[in-house]
Amino acid sequence: MRIYALLILPLPLLIVVGYLLPTLGVLGWSLSLPKVGLQNYATILDSAAIQTVIWRTLRICLLTTVISVAIAYLIAFRWRFASARGRLLIELFVLLPFWLSMLIRAFAWLVLLRNDGLVNQSLMGLGLVDEPLALVRNELGALIGMVHFMVPYAVLPLLSSMRQVDDSLLRASSSLGAGRWQTLREVFLPLTLPGVAAASATVFVFSLGCFVTPALLGGGKAAMLAESIYIQMFQLSNWGLGAALSIVLMAMVAVCAVVFGKLVGFGRFTGRQA
Amino acid sequence: MKDKQRFIDDAVEIAQQRVEAGTLSRRSFNQLLMVMAAAAGMGPLRHAFADSASVVVANWGGDAVPAFEKSFAGFNAASGLKLLIDGSGPTEGAVKTQVNSGAVRWDVCDGEMYSSYRLGKEGVLTPIDYSVVDKSLIGYGDIHDFGLANYTYSYVIGFDAKKFGKNPPKSWADFWDVKKYPGKRTLYKWMSANLECALLADGVPADQLYPLDVDRALRKIEELMPHVVTHWSTGAESQQLLRDGEVSMGQMWHTRAELVKQDTGGAIDWTFDNAIVAPSVWFVPKNNPAGAANAMKFIAYALRPEVQAKLMEVYNMGPVDSKANSLLSPELQRINPTSPENLGKQVSMNNLWYADHYSETLDRYLALIGG
């Protein structure tokens, strides 16, 4: 049996070589470039510009999480009570976006939402607005693109969580006199809350690192942390500060993971009951 | 994200624009791969890419790769060296990574002029050997220890000729005047030339621009912000914004302005009046794989007037010497940034100023347009 344990060795090895060592290297840069010390972290604390970006990142990610998980909950709910055929259809539409490049999706939104795009032309044609709404090339545009990107990631943990809800519990609830709304609120919802937490954590963590979508749909007006790191590293060759920002981003992800772990347990990520 | 795309990367057709925007992320991806390879000390990689019988020239990808291949096709016959173009983008960060890790992949880089000053100071470049490179062939643009002008381009005003054809904008003051010239605007994302345009619009005389008054320039840019739809980061985007009528006026590269003029049959027009003209630069990373001598050979070749003219013919990149202008057709002379007539209408960008102030100013500028 012991020999089989060796078979999982590539995974920890990959993690050490591919993640741990480079991460330590980045940490080293943040503390040693251009000179040894904490000055890069002091810059982050001092710079109003950087803090604006950090707060904007948190704000956009939080909004993305709330909206994506709400939409995903509705989709997953519909799936839970659909026929086999209906389930297949929903699964197909949830998975379909995974096959499209992030870049193509961002450009599609740009075409739809820009001033003379389909959405604005329809609204103006119907006489609902007089001049085009600013739907893209701002924070709203970034938000729309990110929500669209994240919904499938939120649906998957919710599906697994809703599948585990035993039908007999719902029947028991109604046989005890609860209406549909009460059953939903007092039985179904609490049972699926761990799924909501898993979906939220997944979406929030993924959103933190978003680069392409906010860069394209934000029109330079919604720069997030990932773009700032790119600018420091490649535009300004300011590796120390870029590395320090990366560490801050990583710390934010770690905090989310720990909070999530405390709340519902890490087992949720792997689909096991915690 | 751009990323960053520079002047040189022009597409000819509308259809190419989307593909081209794709090069942005591919480029960033390449840079990441390269940093990772360099960090891991994978020096031998470069030998797979370039041996001593070839010269690798780095530029910004997209159509600039075939443009260089076509324009410098005669280099092999002239030197016996094979020319390879690598479009992954010689940003300062990338050059520094390669040199510091000892995994240098590029022999000659087509970069930003201010980068050549900065990298030269940091000691990661090889000095230009002016006994091989004939600096008298440069009539316009910087010549310094670690770099020299290789071609020129202009930040011009492109405008909707259907709206403003009778009384076209002639200055940055007109560009800022949204009452006289109604409609939205777009400007380049990466700051270059924006500060100059803002100060000119604010009434600073062209000969007193430098040192740039950053506070005043940023205030002037802030004033225009409500009318700026977006700051474009790829040349294709600047074309699209004007062609689709999303903006009535845009600050853009002269190559793109000419393309969109041709695309729209003149519905979009542009002018060299008050434009900001700037040189790009050749520089050579320290310990380049083909050796300093071969890099100098390439630079000397690329400076020949007939090669300069070829670069203008192929992709409208302006020669660095007005003598090359006479080798051009009248039609190309009209759109050449360094023809004597056009040069007289424009304001020159001072890259020495950028060399000293780029980082801290870019931070403030991006915070302003990102807010």
- For residue A138, give the CATH number of its domain: 1.10.3720.10
Is residue A5 domain-resident? no
Residues B262 and B235 in one domain: yes
pLDDT recorded at residue A256: 86
pLDDT digits 0-9 by tens, B47-101: 444 445 899 999 988 778 888 999 999 999 999 999 999 988 898 889 998 998 8
For B58, counting Cβ atoms within 10 Å of its Cβ (0-12 exposed, 13-18 middle, 19+ buried), the class is buried
Q: How far is A163 from chain B (nearest CA, A)?
A: 38
Residues B173 and B241 in one domain: yes
Residues B354 and B221 in one domain: yes
Per-residue burial over A205-216, b = 16 or more CB atoms within 10 Å of its CB, e = otherwise: bbbbbbbbbbbb
Q: Check the CA dihedral B245-B251-B253-B258 and report its sign.
A: positive
Residue A53 domain boundaries: 48-270
pTM above 0.90, yes or no: no
Is residue A218 domain-resident? yes
Q: Is the pLDDT of residue B18 over 50?
A: no
Q: How far is A271 from chain B (nearest CA, A)?
A: 32
pLDDT recorded at residue B15: 28
A91 vs B323: which has the higher pLDDT: A91
B185 vs A273: which has the higher pLDDT: B185
pLDDT recorded at residue A7: 85
pLDDT recorded at residue A269: 55
- Nearest neighbour of A107 by CB, restricted to B18, B28, B367: B18
Contact A52 B371 (CB under 8 A): yes
How many structural domains are present in chain B?
2
Q: B6 vs A114, A156, B272, B324, CA distance in Å?
A: 24, 41, 19, 24
Is residue A251 domain-resident? yes
* CB < 8 Å to A110, chain B: none
- Chain A contact for B183, CB < 8 A? no
CB contacts < 8 A, A to B, total 86
What is the C-alpha to C-alpha distance for residues B360 and B119, in angstroms, rounded to an integer? 16
Task: Give the list of residues 6+ apart from residue A55 with CB closer than 8 angstroms, or none.
Answer: none
Q: B188 vs A87, A106, A116, B191, CA distance in Å?
A: 48, 20, 21, 6
pLDDT digits 0-9 by tens, A160-198: 999 999 889 988 988 898 888 898 888 899 999 989 999
Residues B22 and B145 in one domain: yes
Q: Is the pLDDT of residue B336 over 60?
A: yes
Residues B232 and B360 in one domain: yes
What is the C-alpha to C-alpha distance for residues A102 and A146, in angstroms, rounded to an integer? 10
Would you list the DSSP string of A121-133?
HHHHHTTS-SS--
Is residue A207 domain-resident? yes
Contact B31 A234 (CB under 8 A): yes
Q: Residue A209, SS3?
A: coil
Backbone φ/ψ region at A63: left (φ over 0), alpha (ψ -120 to 50), beta: alpha
Q: Is the pLDDT of residue B42 over 70?
A: no
Residues B112 and B18 in one domain: yes
pLDDT digits 0-9 by tens, A117-147: 889 989 998 988 888 888 888 889 999 999 9
Q: Is the pLDDT of residue B304 over 90?
A: yes
pLDDT digits 0-9 by tens, A69-115: 999 999 999 999 999 999 999 999 998 888 888 888 888 998 899 88
Q: Is the pLDDT of residue A1 over 50?
A: yes
Is residue A53 domain-resident? yes
Residue A231 sits at φ, ψ, to 5 deg, of -65, -45
Strands (E), B2-133: 54-58, 82-86, 108-111, 125-126
Pick from A189, A212, A194: which is nearest to A260 by CA? Answer: A194
Tell me which amino acid residue B340 is: P
Q: How far is A111 from chain B (nearest CA, A)?
A: 11
DSSP code of residue B335: T
What does DSSP say about strands B125-126 and B143-144: parallel, antiparallel, or unpaired?
Answer: unpaired
How many structural domains are present in chain A?
1
Would you list the DSSP string of B75-87?
HHHHHSPEEEEE-
Contact B231 A219 (CB under 8 A): yes
pLDDT recorded at residue B47: 43
pLDDT digits 0-9 by tens, B190-216: 898 999 999 999 999 999 999 999 999
Backbone φ/ψ region at B222: left (φ over 0), alpha (ψ -120 to 50), beta: alpha
- Nearest neighbour of B369 by CB, restricted to A211, A221, A238: A221
- ipTM for the whole complex: 0.70
Q: Is the pLDDT of residue B21 over 50?
A: no
**Lowest-pLDDT choice from A229-243, B2-16, B262-276:** B2-16
What average pLDDT does chain B have? Answer: 86
CATH code for the domain of B113: 3.40.190.10
pLDDT recorded at residue B108: 97
Q: Is the pLDDT of residue B44 over 70?
A: no
- Chain A contact for B18, CB < 8 A? yes
What are the structure tokens assigned to B97, written together? 């990574």
Residues B209 and B357 in one domain: yes
| A17-40 average pLDDT score | 91
- Chain A contact for B369, CB < 8 A? yes
Residues B259 and B222 in one domain: yes
Q: Is the pLDDT of residue A238 over 80?
A: yes
pLDDT recorded at residue A266: 63
Would you list the DSSP string of A223-269?
--HHHHHHIIIIIS--HHHHHHHHHHHHHHHHHHHHHHHHHH-THHH
- The band of B171, judged by pLDDT with boundaries at 50, 70 and 90, is very high
What is the C-alpha to C-alpha distance for residues B319 and B335, in angstroms, rounded to an integer? 11
**Lowest-pLDDT choice from B21-25, B153-157, B239-243:** B21-25
Residue B356 domain boundaries: 154-277+350-370
Question: Residue B255 belongs to what H/E stretch?
Answer: helix B254-263
pLDDT recorded at residue A153: 93
Contact B36 A215 (CB under 8 A): no
Tell me which amino acid residue A184 is: L
Is residue A16 domain-resident? no
Contact A107 B21 (CB under 8 A): yes
Q: Residue B359, SS3?
A: helix
What is the C-alpha to C-alpha distance for residues A247 and A252, in angstroms, rounded to an integer? 9
Residues B296 and B220 in one domain: no
What average pLDDT does chain A have? Answer: 88
- The band of A274, judged by pLDDT with boundaries at 50, 70 and 90, is very low
Looking at the DSSP bridge assignments, the partners of residue B80 are none
* Chain B interface disruption, residue of A235, A239, A241, A246, most B CBs within 10 A: A235
Is residue B334 domain-resident? no
pLDDT digits 0-9 by tens, B263-286: 999 999 999 999 999 999 999 999
Residue B314 and residue B70 in contact, taking contact as beta carbons nearer than 8 Å = yes
